[in-house]
């Protein structure tokens, strides 16, 4: 069962496109108000990011103000060669890492193979807001191969509330392959934390499909 008291994809104001009041402290206060059980800080990161230590120290400081389970991590871009745009220091199991696409691909082969490499990357915990570009379509067989790789590499696929992903056809095939899912608001504002209303249809599909 998916737990709506867990939010595994929350950004904060260490980027330039989140709400100004989306501080680490305010996120934890909001999570407390919502009686959340687990939250993951997953700020956008690049290999060139210089704010990372301050960000991690701030999370560590405010962790002591709550009983909520808090994961320290990052969301990093899957690059065209399949590598992850994250400083080497944080490519370890100490940190919670979402790998996702943030660049449009014109070529299905490049997109697909970059995704496979990311899935096989031992540092990655989660594949974030998974869906191909509108110009790219996958066969059921190609989706099945992705699901098998996700399952065998012990990756989690997030149900992303911001983008309403992955598509139902992915979820159906993945579910039959015992792929694990969890919820991520992809919050860029206080109001979005723990809010999964936009993906209730995806949640219901996973929980009740086949009954």
Q: What is the pTM of this model?
A: 0.96
Strand order through the sheet with 6-10: 6-10, 38-45, 69-77, 96-100, 126-127, 156-160, 180-184
Instruction: Taking residues 20-34, report their average pLDDT.
Output: 97
Q: Rounded to 5 degrees, what are φ and ψ at 11?
A: -95, 170
Kindly report, residue by residue over 196-207, the tens digit of the pLDDT.
999 999 999 999
> What is the CATH code of the structural domain delimited by 6-208?
3.20.20.140
State percent of the chain over pLDDT 90: 91
Q: Mean pLDDT across the stretch 121-141?
A: 96
Q: Is it the case that residue 210 has pLDDT exceeding 80?
A: no
DSSP 187-209: BSSGGGTT--GGGHHHHHHHHHT
Secondary structure letter of residue 129 according to DSSP: S
Maximum alpha-carbon separation in the chain: 49
| Domain chopping of the chain, boundaries | 6-208
Report whether pLDDT(208) > 70: yes
Name the DSSP class of 120.
T
Reply yes or no on whether the pLDDT at 39 is more than 70.
Answer: yes
């Amino acid at each position: 069962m998916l737990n709506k008291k867990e939010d595994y994809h929350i950004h904060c104001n260490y980027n330039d496109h989140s709400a100004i009041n989306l501080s680490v402290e305010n996120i934890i206060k909001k999570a407390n108000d919502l009686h959340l059980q687990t939250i993951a800080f997953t700020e956008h990161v690049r290999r060139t990011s210089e704010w990372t230590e301050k960000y991690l120290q701030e999370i560590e400081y405010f962790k002591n103000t709550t009983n909520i389970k808090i994961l320290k991590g990052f969301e990093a871009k899957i690059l065209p060669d399949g590598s992850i745009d994250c400083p080497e220091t944080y490519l370890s199991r100490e940190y919670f890492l979402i790998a996702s696409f943030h660049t449009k691909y014109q070529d299905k082969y490049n997109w697909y193979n970059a995704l496979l490499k990311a899935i096989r990357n031992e540092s990655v915990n989660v594949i974030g807001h998974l869906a191909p570009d509108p110009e790219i379509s996958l066969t059921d067989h190609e989706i099945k191969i992705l699901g098998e790789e996700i399952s065998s590499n012990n990756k989690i696929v997030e149900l992303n509330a911001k983008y309403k992903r992955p598509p139902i056809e992915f979820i159906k095939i993945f579910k039959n392959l015992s792929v694990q899912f969890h919820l991520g608001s992809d919050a860029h504002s206080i109001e979005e934390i723990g809010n999964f209303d936009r993906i209730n249809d995806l949640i219901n599909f996973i929980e009740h499909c086949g009954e």
